[in-house]
Amino acid sequence: MSREEIIKITNDFLVEEIEVDPGVINANASFKDDLGIDSLDFVDIVVIVEKKFGFKIKAEEMSGVTTLGGFYDYIESKMNNR
């Protein structure tokens, strides 16, 4: 899966399922402050990522991820190492 596909799928589910405002989506956006994603939303993102990408997010691997760009990187690395 290309990075462009990962970005598209991720942005689409953030808008459609997490109902993030499309206007605030960019690679530098902070999960918490810009996208408004809280700990409960993240529980749902784990479920969605498993459905869309076929792997389960591990909290400890996400500890340094604070921006959307970092999240694309994380998904890309997981997809490339399968």
Show which residues are catalytic: 38
Could you give the CA distance from residue 33 to residue 67 in angstroms, rounded to a whole number? 10
Looking at residue 28, the DSSP 8-state letter turns out to be T
Helix (H, G, I), strand (E, B) or coil at 30: strand
Closer Cβ to other proteins, 3 or 44, answer by number: 44
44 binds other proteins (CB under 8 A): yes
Count residues binding other proteins (CB under 8 A). 10
Q: Looking only at residues 48 through 77 of this chain, which bind other proteins when binding is defined by CB under 8 A?
A: 50, 56
Computed from CA positions of residues 43, 72, 27, 48, in that sequence, does the dihedral angle turn out positive or negative? negative
25 binds other proteins (CB under 8 A): no
32 binds other proteins (CB under 8 A): no
